[in-house]
Every structure is written in C-alpha cells, then in structure tokens.
Amino acid sequence: MLHLDGQMLKLEEIARVARDAEAVLLTEEARQRMEASRRVVERILAEGRTVYGVNTGFGKLADVRISAEELGALQLNLVRSHACGVGKPLSPEETRAVLLLRANVLARGLSGARPVLAETLVRMLNAGVLPVIPERGSVGASGDLAPLAHVALCVVGEGEATLHGQRMAAARALQLADIKPLQLEAKEGLALLNGTQAMAAVGALALLRAEMVARVADVAGAMTLEALRGTPVAFDARIVAARPHPGQQEAAVHLLALLSESEIRLSHLENDPRVQDAYSLRCMPQVHGAVRDALKHARRVVETETGSATDNPLVFIETNEVLSGGNFHGAPLALAFDYAAIALAHLAAMSERRIERLVNPDLNEGLPPFLTRTPGLSSGFMIAHVVAVSLLNEMKLLAHPASTDNLPTSANKEDHVSMGMTAANKLRKAVKLAEQILAIELLVAAEGVEFRAPLRPGRGVERAHRAVRQHAARLAEDRPLSSEIQALAEAIRRGEFDL
C-alpha cells in the first residue's frame, strides 16, 4: 500500500498504482495539514477579505467579487464550464495516475481544500471509479484545466466514469462504489482544476516505457552487431572513460555484457580487413547513452513535480496568507517531454539504420539479400524495413516540440502557455512507435544471427534470440509479419527484452 503525504513519487510508485492497482492511503499528517490550510480559507471568508480563487471570478474575471451566498455555485460553475475536453479518453492506467497525483498534491496541505477532497479521490482510485478524461483540451497554462475538470465533474457526481471497465454516469459509478458525491465549497473547485497532473500522469507512464526502450535498444543493437560480425572494441571501458557521460558508460557496460563469450566475435578477431564499423554500430554507447541521460533528466523533472504544489493560489498556514503565483505552468514538464521525444527519435533512427544494414546485400557482410534464402522468389524482410522507415518518419514529426508554440488564452490574461499536455501525448505515441521499430530490428537481427550458426552469439544476445523465437519462428518462406512485429512490441513493453 502506498501512503500519500504529498511526497515526491518515483515513476515506479506511480506505475504500481496505475498499472498494478496498488492500494493508496492518505496519511493522518496530510489530513492535519489540509485541515489547517482550510481554516485559513475559512478565516478569510469570515473576515470578508477578497482573495483570488476564494471569493472572486477566475482568469480575466478575477476582478469580479462573488458574494458568500454564491461561493458554492461559483465552484460548481467552474467545474462544469471547464469540462469541455475532446478526443479519446485517457487509458485506465493514465486515469489512475491522474487521480493519484491530484490526491497527492492536495495532501501537501497548500491548497486550502478540505481533507475530504483528497479522501474522495483516494476512495475512487481504490474502488476503480475512473473519470472519463478526454486527452485533448489542455494548453498547460493554469495547468491541465480541461482534463482535471472532468475529474472534478466526477467528484461532484456529474459526467461519466468507468467502473470495472464499464462506462456509465459518474453518479451511478459512485453509488455502486458507495462513494458520496461532494458539494464543493469555496476554492475547492479551483483546487481540483489547477495543476499539471494530467500531463504528469501521461508523461510519467510514457517515460517509464521509454527507459525500457532505451535498454532494449542496446539488446537489439548488440544482436545486430553479432549478425553483421561487428566489433565491440568501440565499447572498451578506456574509450568510454575518456568521455564520462553517465549514460554512455551505462550503455557500453550493457553492450559488453550482452556480447560476452561470443563465438561469432572470436571467428573474426584476427585477419579481419575491416578497420571499424558504421556509426549505427560503433556509436551505440554515445547515442543510446545520450538518450538515457535525456530520459533521466525528464524523470527528475516529473518526480519533482509529483511532490509539488501546482495550484493557485497557495495557502501558507505559518503566516495565514493566501498567495497567488504560477506553479501551475507546465513549462518544466513540457520541455522535458519534448526533450524525451527528440531523444527517442535519435534512438529509433539508429535502429532503422541497423535494420537497413541487415537487409541490404551491399552492407550486410555476406548475409543473403533481405535475409531470405530464395532472393527474387522471396522478399524476406524487405518490407519490414520499409515499415520501420514509415514509423520513423512519424517519430520525426512527433519530435517537433510542442513547447515552442504559444497562443494566449483567457482574453490574454494567460498570455504564455506550455502545451505540456500535447508534449505528453506526443511522447506516449513516440514511445509506442519506438517499441515497434525495435521489434522489427529484433526480428530481423535474430534472422541474421541464424545465418552465423553454428557459431553462437554472446550470452545476452543468445537470451534475446531465444526470446524472439518465443514469438516468431525463423523465416523459412515469406509470410505476413504484422502480428509478429506487434507481438514483439508488446513483449518489449512487458519487459521480456530488458536483459
């Protein structure tokens, strides 16, 4: 069980709740902080002070004072008006991550909301009541207003939700789970809407998959190196130590481990006329390592964000002040997700170049054209490479940054936006495409290694080869490969090639 206290959460902790349905519990310390911050809000109301988000309108309408009698209606209107997202819903895993992260932000005790808000989100999470959250509609300025409004709509018993995979009215889902809809009080609608938890949730789960992809790229690359009778000399620890980027060092160590005890390597250790391999083989530590470092940076940003108060205004119980700021702006996440998508495009480009070398008879070191034993009659892996090129083209489009765009909103009050949700959605797509490209490389490289038999590849490559053969037999004759590529992509996602 994960205890929520407003702390920073690791990507793995998010994944356990999102994917494995680990239960969540709000700590007593968090409840006490939330109660203390709520008392500050109530004191403001009792004193008749004007504070943004407590008794005013929002955005451009912040100058409009709202009467005490209308504060509940103000919060409900805020939720209803902002729930206008479009597009397909976030996945159940992403939705669970949104609920987790939003509850954790409230647990910080800086939002001025009653503990019951966080408790309700936790109860929904544990019961499997998942709001239907459209993936499009956020510009990441005052956070993810539209996506989070759909969460808040469910909290008040409106909108739609799923329960045990069935889509229904949110009121019905809450009733079946014995969860009472809330009547929002002053500031509480805003406390649910302001924040970056939708983009953080989508991006966090995508990043965890991306880290897996980076490690699998080493596996696929090592198998290709063996099939092409390449040399691991470029991965020598002395070379890597001369340029000690952490990711480069990790990738080189991983590659050498995968290639250890290779009989294929021993077969061309001496009297090989080749001096050095192509960059897509020789520079794997440098490129794969740079990707690892980019993803580590993105991880640090996301994990910092998970324990951050990102709504507005914030309530500080030490001084009984409510201060307006801009922690809801998604720039840190947007830039990190764009960086990660760019990094993955480099990783996929290296993989595509290695696939080309495997199938091209002018480059594949004596392997049959397109790795078929009957070239001409059969096309072998010719179109598998074409598919990889198609996927890579889409990845390059997704590598274009969302965060460089800016279209002011809210009558120019929100005059710089992050487009962080767009960046997160792009990253998710980029990861899926990278998994498919690496699946193609694994499929083709496994075939190439077969042609080097009876010589055995390195121990790690041999394990990877066996894993490929669990999903795809050797290509004795032409056959449709779509299902096998997809099966290998899913195996990558499950961790079967994280060797």
How much is the average pLDDT of 129-158? 96
Distances (CA, A) of 141 to 69, 249, 421: 30, 38, 10
Residue 276 CA to residue 382 CA, distance in Å, equals 26
- Averaged pLDDT score across all residues of the chain: 94
So what's the pLDDT on residue 273? 86
Q: What is the mean pLDDT of residues 86-112?
A: 97
Predicted pLDDT at 59: 66
Interatomic CA distance for residues 139 and 100, integer angstroms: 21
Single out the residue of 268, 107, 211 nearest to residue 427, CA to CA.
Answer: 211
Establish whether 52 is a catalytic residue: yes
The token pair at 237 is 């620890």
Going by pLDDT thresholds of 50, 70 and 90, the confidence category of residue 62 is low
Instruction: Tell me the pTM.
Output: 0.95
Select the highest-mean-pLDDT range: 270-274, 354-358, 371-375: 354-358
pLDDT reported for residue 45: 85
- Residue 60 pLDDT > 70, yes or no? no
Q: Which entry of 26, 38, 41, 52 is annotated as an active-site residue?
A: 52
HSE (CB half, 13 Å, CA atoms) of 20? Answer: 11
**What is the amino acid identity at position 278?**
A
Residue 459 burial by Cβ neighbours in a 10 Å radius (0-12, 13-18, 19+): middle
Q: What is residue 46's predicted lDDT score, i.e. its pLDDT? A: 85
For the range 56-65, what are the long-range contacts, defined as Cβ-Cβ under 8 Å and sequence gap of 24 or more? 58/190, 59/142, 59/410, 59/411, 59/413, 59/414, 60/410, 60/411, 60/412, 60/413, 62/413
CA distance 1 to 23: 5
pLDDT tens-place string over residues 403-440: 999 888 888 878 899 999 999 999 999 999 999 999 99
Tell whether the model's pLDDT for residue 49 goes beyond 90.
no
pLDDT of residue 79 exceeding 80? yes
% of the chain residues with pLDDT over 70: 99
> Do the Cβ atoms of 358 and 444 come closer than 8 Å?
yes
- What is the pLDDT confidence band of residue 466, given thresholds at 50, 70 and 90? very high
